[in-house]
């Protein structure tokens, strides 16, 4: 992600998709079925389905403006960011019974192991305690954060970080060395029993899970509107 900086996209396909581009990785992969994976939009954020969900209900919360970490976006749009994250958290937990939120936060000088440079929070039905146990097994030094509002503390060191949360309490690992690519995605896959390397979205695209998530969310919203 050399040359990437806050506010200026480095060519991320996700940036293009959120800006309304019609020829994107999503459009090429899904060919109009569904037409969009965006479930919710506010002025500065979007809630979308992961392009290749690890499990049904795998969502991303994404700032529309280009940021390298979600915590940095929260500094600019605190209330709005927290509101969208909480909405995604609550829907996943209510619908699927459990929830984990995680992020690879990057900086201009170093990647946090994310698959793309555009900041995004993963929200998916995985048991957070089991994911934290994998992080501890891998000897990551974790610092507790009391709630979602405290995520901005991850920006203070100006280092890349790994964030994991059960939707209330959270923990963060500040990185001093390069972490393996898509670490938290692969760790979540381990918890879910998905074999290596089938967690890699560039190798395996689970179209049925994305379509199922879109249908289930839109059905839930439709029921609320009746």
The domain spans of the chain are 13-225
pLDDT at 222: 77
- In the predicted structure, residue 134 carries a pLDDT above the cut 70: yes
Phi, psi of 89 (to 5 degrees): -55, -50
- In the predicted structure, residue 104 carries a pLDDT above the cut 60: yes
Asked if 129 and 153 count as a contact pair (C-beta separation under 8 A), the reply is no
How big is the chain by its Cα radius of gyration, in Å?
Answer: 16
In this prediction, residues 111-116 reach a mean pLDDT of 66
Model-level pTM?
Answer: 0.93
* Higher-scoring residue by pLDDT: 222, 87: 87
Work out the pLDDT band at 176, boundaries 50, 70, 90: confident
Fold of 13-225: HIT family, subunit A (3.30.428)
Q: Among positive and negative, which fits the CA dihedral 112, 115, 116, 120?
A: negative
- In the predicted structure, residue 44 carries a pLDDT above the cut 60: yes
Work out the pLDDT band at 1, boundaries 50, 70, 90: very low
- In the predicted structure, residue 52 carries a pLDDT above the cut 50: yes
């Amino acid at each position: 992600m050399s040359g990437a900086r806050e506010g200026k996209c480095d060519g991320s396909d996700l940036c293009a998709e959120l800006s309304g581009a019609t020829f994107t990785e999503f459009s090429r992969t899904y060919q109009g079925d569904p037409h969009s994976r965006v479930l919710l939009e506010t002025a500065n954020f979007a809630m979308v389905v992961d392009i290749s969900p690890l499990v049904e209900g795998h969502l991303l919360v994404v700032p529309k403006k280009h940021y390298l970490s979600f915590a940095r976006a929260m500094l600019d749009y605190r209330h709005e960011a927290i509101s969208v994250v909480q909405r995604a958290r609550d829907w996943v937990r209510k619908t699927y019974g459990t929830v984990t939120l995680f992020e690879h936060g990057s900086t201009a000088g170093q990647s946090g192991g994310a698959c793309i440079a555009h900041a995004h929070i993963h929200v998916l039905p995985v048991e957070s305690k089991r994911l934290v146990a994998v992080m501890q097994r891998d000897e990551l030094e974790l610092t507790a954060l009391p709630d979602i509002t405290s995520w901005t503390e991850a920006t203070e060191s100006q280092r890349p970080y790994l964030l994991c949360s059960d939707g209330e309490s959270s923990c963060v690992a500040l990185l001093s060395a390069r972490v393996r690519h898509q670490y938290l995605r692969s760790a979540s896959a381990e918890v879910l029993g998905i074999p290596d390397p089938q967690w890699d979205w560039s190798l395996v695209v689970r179209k049925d899970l994305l379509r199922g998530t879109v249908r289930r969310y839109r059905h839930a919203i439709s029921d609320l509107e009746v």
